[in-house]
Amino acid sequence: MKRPKSLVSLFFLLPALILMVPFVIYPVFKTIYLSFFFGDEFVGLENYKNVLLSSDIVNLERFPTNSPPWGALVHNVVWIVIHLPVTVFLGLGIALLLRKKEVKGSSIVKSIVFLGMVIPMIVGGLIIRFLFEEGAGVVPAIFKALGIERLAITWTAYPQTALFAAILGSIWIWTGFSMLMYSAGLASIPRDYYEAALIDGASRFQIFKNVTWPLLKPITIVIVAMTLLWDLKIFDIVYVATGGGPGGASMVLALQMWDYFARALNYNYAAVVAVLLTTLTIIPALWLIRRRE
Amino acid sequence: MDIPKYKLRKYIVSTSIAWFLGLIWLIPFIGVLMASIRPYTEIVGGWWHFSPFTITLKNFVNAFNHPMFPISEGLKNSLIIAIPSTIIPLLVAALAAYAFARYSFPIKHYLFAFIIFLMALPQQMTIVPLYFLLRNLHLLNKFQGLILVHSAWGLAWIIFFMRNYFSMLPTDVEEAAKIDGASDFKIFYKIVLPMALPGLISAAILQFTWVWSDFFLALVFLQNPEKYVATQRLPLLRGQYFVDWGVLTAASIMVLLVPLLVYALFQKYYISGMIGWSTEK
């Protein structure tokens, strides 16, 4: 039922446009505009050059042999390289395990793993800090018991470990998302497919490879795109768990933007980092848009 | 009933792995609970030591009435902001989503693609100009300003979500009402909105939870300590000379209890919202 009435639809769209134009759309273009200025002076791409060449954003001299800081952009990339595959496959594994009929209490386990997604991220960040604190925290205590003294420390206080504490904590939080999405995806696969495959004598691995995995592909694309967005936009966790430190060792783009904006009061550099961050988020966003067509 | 041996083994192995994973995921929460109900001296060497084991509510009282940043005030402020920031975008987005689901108009597809793009937009992309805009409108440090920003930011995903929901609804009742001469707006609020109630509840729950959990926008737009929302107060309760985990964890529990209750009470809607928001119907 498509009713081609432009005027009526304008009436329906108007309140949304009244809110979105000044508070979302105008600021986006204004930020791009600001990124080409320094104070009141138009400087072209000068800001981009300064920001991208600064060690705040990319500091490859230390990467990867020395400990971080490697620059906020590199930290985001490291985050993606570790966090994306781990959460996607861990979520899939848990979803597959909990789908089995013989697992008792699977819905309780599912709720527990999903809990990280329910709590405010700022609380998640505090919990990460607590987990990795020497004395009060579980993780250093485990490494101490294992005799690995190098990791029996307050992770968030050392440049070698701060970034990885945040990434590990983020795995704890985000795996619930991928598990939930895969559980829903698995539940939507018709049972007959499996029965047919079993009659044909397919092994469990063959069934997974030829039936389950291909049918989950659309879901996997969504999970990967959403996880990429999460990895790029990460802010609260880092703000409260490590503050980006020590010495920038766990700094990420979103936090660096806020740093330029609120601490250095350099609105133009802040705008440059914001544009950079948005440019990167366009990749998964386009992926999601294209999937609709 | 006779259970074959190999089945029993499979049952034990799968169930143990599942519960072991569940336990790993639960441990951080158990730690938080332990730290919140015990005195600082008992958890500073590890909350997993149980002698002595003293239960106290002092941490909760201290966090609630903190001399600098009482979490009680923060919870109140969070609520004052989260309720209108849920209702306004829900109504506004439902209208827009209906236009996307039922009408055709010029540039519709481009506009919708743009809205999906806005869903992916980092908040960082808008805050510098927004900060100055709100300052010029005298809305900085005011709840109204933050409510407007939250409402505008919620629109993109709620439009996307509700448009998917409306597209799934059967249209014959609407068509019948149309023949009877009902106006477009009347059809919308008398027929479509009631039918879409489960979708509206899902969207409301997620939007409420996200606004409640927001930290970044509050950090930028509320700079007056009395106005601070609950999430904003949390990192400030650290303690002067050491990290006071007792007060921090007690305050954390009070802040996370609200979204947790919402999740527990509306689990069905919460989950279908999560799935519907990020995928395609």
| Bridge partners, A42 (sequence order) | A37
B92 closest CB neighbour out of A16, A119, A138: A16
- The pLDDT tens digits of the residues spanning A70-108 come to 999 999 999 999 999 999 999 999 999 999 888 888 999
Closest CA to B150 of B73, B210, B229, B96: B210
CB of B33 within 8 Å of a chain A CB? The answer is no
Q: Which of the four pLDDT bands, split at 50, 70 and 90, describes residue B281?
A: very low
Alpha-carbon dihedral sign for residues B7, B8, B14, B18? positive
Cβ atoms of B35 and B249 within 8 Å: the answer is yes
For chain B, how many residues are written? Answer: 281
B31 closest CB neighbour out of A19, A138, A177: A138
Joined tokens for residue A236: 């609260």
Q: Maximum distance among all alpha carbons in chain A? A: 73
Rg (CA), chain A: 23
Cβ atoms of B81 and B69 within 8 Å: the answer is no
Contacts with A114 (C-beta within 8 Å, 6 or more apart), sequence order = A176, A177, A179, A180
**Rounded percentage of chain B residues whose pLDDT exceeds 90:** 74
- The pLDDT tens digits of the residues spanning A236-291 come to 999 999 999 899 999 999 999 999 999 999 999 999 999 999 999 998 888 887 77
pTM: 0.94
Joined tokens for residue B231: 């999430």
| Cβ contacts from A onto B, under 8 A | 290
Calpha distance B250→B99 (Å, rounded): 46
Q: How far is A165 from chain B (nearest CA, A)?
A: 14
User: Does A102 contact B14 at a Cβ distance shorter than 8 Å?
Assistant: yes
Higher-confidence position of B276 and A87: A87
Q: Where are the beta strands (DSSP E) in B168-242?
A: none
Mean pLDDT score, A15-42: 95
- The pLDDT tens digits of the residues spanning B243-275 come to 899 999 999 999 999 999 999 999 999 998 988
The three-class DSSP label of residue A19 is helix
Is residue A5 assigned to a domain? no
CATH number of domain containing A222: 1.10.3720.10
Residue B105 pLDDT > 60 = yes
The CA distances from residue B82 to B134, B143, B230, in Å, are 19, 10, 11
Q: Report the pLDDT value the prediction gives residue B271, as an integer from 0 to 100.
A: 92
Give the structural domain span for A170.
Answer: 21-61+68-292
Contacts A139 to B, Cβ<8 Å: none
- The pLDDT tens digits of the residues spanning B155-197 come to 999 999 999 999 989 888 888 998 998 888 999 999 999 999 9
For B150, phi and psi rounded to 5 degrees? -60, -45
The torsion defined by the Cα of B172, B178, B179 and B181, in degrees rounded to 10, comes to 150
Residue of B nearest to A291 (CA): B280
Is residue A252 assigned to a domain? yes
Calpha distance A130→A125 (Å, rounded): 9
Cβ atoms of B220 and B127 within 8 Å: the answer is yes
Is residue A13 assigned to a domain? no
Q: Maximum distance among all alpha carbons in chain B? A: 77
Is residue A162 assigned to a domain? yes
Calpha distance B278→A114 (Å, rounded): 16
For A37, phi and psi rounded to 5 degrees? -115, 155
- The pLDDT tens digits of the residues spanning A151-170 come to 999 999 999 999 999 999 99
Contacts with B239 (C-beta within 8 Å, 6 or more apart), sequence order = B247, B248
Residue B114 pLDDT > 50 = yes
Label residue B65 exposed, middle or buried (CB < 10 Å: 0-12, 13-18, 19+): exposed
A positions 15-74 inside 8 Å of B (CB): 15-16, 19-20, 22-28, 30-31, 34
Residue B279 pLDDT > 80 = no
The three-class DSSP label of residue A234 is coil
Structural domain count of chain A: 1
Is residue A95 assigned to a domain? yes
| Bridge partners, A41 (sequence order) | A38
| Bridge partners, A38 (sequence order) | A41
Which of A35-39, B3-7, B47-51, B97-101 is predicted least confidently? B3-7
Q: How far is A65 from chain B (nearest CA, A)?
A: 31
Residues A11-20 as b or e (16 or more Cβ within 10 Å = b): ebbebbeebb
B positions 192-231 inside 8 Å of A (CB): 209, 212-213, 215-216, 219-220, 231
